[in-house]
Amino acid sequence: MRTNLHHPFLPTVSFFCASLVLPASAAVVDDPDLYSVFDPSGGRSITNTASGATSASTLEALGDFGIIYEYGSFNQGTNIIAFSDETRSDLQISFSGAVSTSSSGAGASLSNNSYSTSPTSAIRFADNAETAAHILSTTLDLGSWDGSTFDGSVGGTSAFGFTLSAPDGAFSRLNSITVQFLDASSQTLSTQTISGVNSGSVGFYFGYQSNAADISSVTVDVSINEGSGSFLMGMDDIGFSSIPETSTYSLITGALGIGLVLFIRRRS
């Protein structure tokens, strides 16, 4: 398990994300394998990129960017992905709104490749079969898991991306998907949307790269139109970059300081 991750260059607000005790039914996945490519062969293809998104190829080119393909141990509700690597934040994934709370509901593993962009599994993003228009929501918080509680007031990343997918025609009731990348003060860094009926679409990609390691959480709101039947899609290929260690920050700031001194001397 990771210990608390904190760097002086990361903005932290202690009241924004209090330490949360994980529900007993949820799962903790330690040190999952990390990959470097979104949408590998074997799963659904990415057919739509959200407006305003940083391209998948840009995130894939980052040397410290890691993508998770496997969610087979996930249970319904809130789940944790924890890393022993001190430079990589832990991740808490929770759901709210009109989501299914059955044992195979929102948050549970989804092994059907029709709902994943990787060849293994995805996270089930399911509603409660409500016929009226409704909203499904999930929040992905970066922070630190100490074995019993999740602290969302520390940690962060400079780049984050993921996919949402389903079989052909499954998005016929979809009104819109709105994704917000937030800093530790809950200020919006980027808003990305996909809207309109996408009855033929099978895979959506969202991603954002910031100039600093200030992405603290990501919210996903899925608006579903009125209609019959349940709505189901898979969340997959969740990826984010690591955080340079304090010593790395010191080297960077030291180099910038030396450069500034030399610049001033040349101007004088």
In this structure, are residues 5 and 205 in contact, taking their beta carbons and an 8 Å threshold? no
Q: Hey, is 28 helix, strand or coil?
A: strand
In this structure, are residues 17 and 143 in contact, taking their beta carbons and an 8 Å threshold? yes
Residue closest to 80 by CA, chosen among 160, 149, 164, 182: 149
pLDDT value, residue 92? 97
pLDDT value, residue 172? 86
Domain ranges of the chain: 20-267
Specify the amino acid at residue 223.
Answer: S
pTM for the structure as a whole: 0.84
Say how many C-beta atoms besides its own lie within 10 A of residue 120's C-beta: 18
Q: Residue ranges of the chain with pLDDT lower than 70?
A: 1-25, 244-268
| Paired sense of beta strands 188-195 and 34-35, if any | unpaired
pLDDT value, residue 223? 95
pLDDT value, residue 138? 97
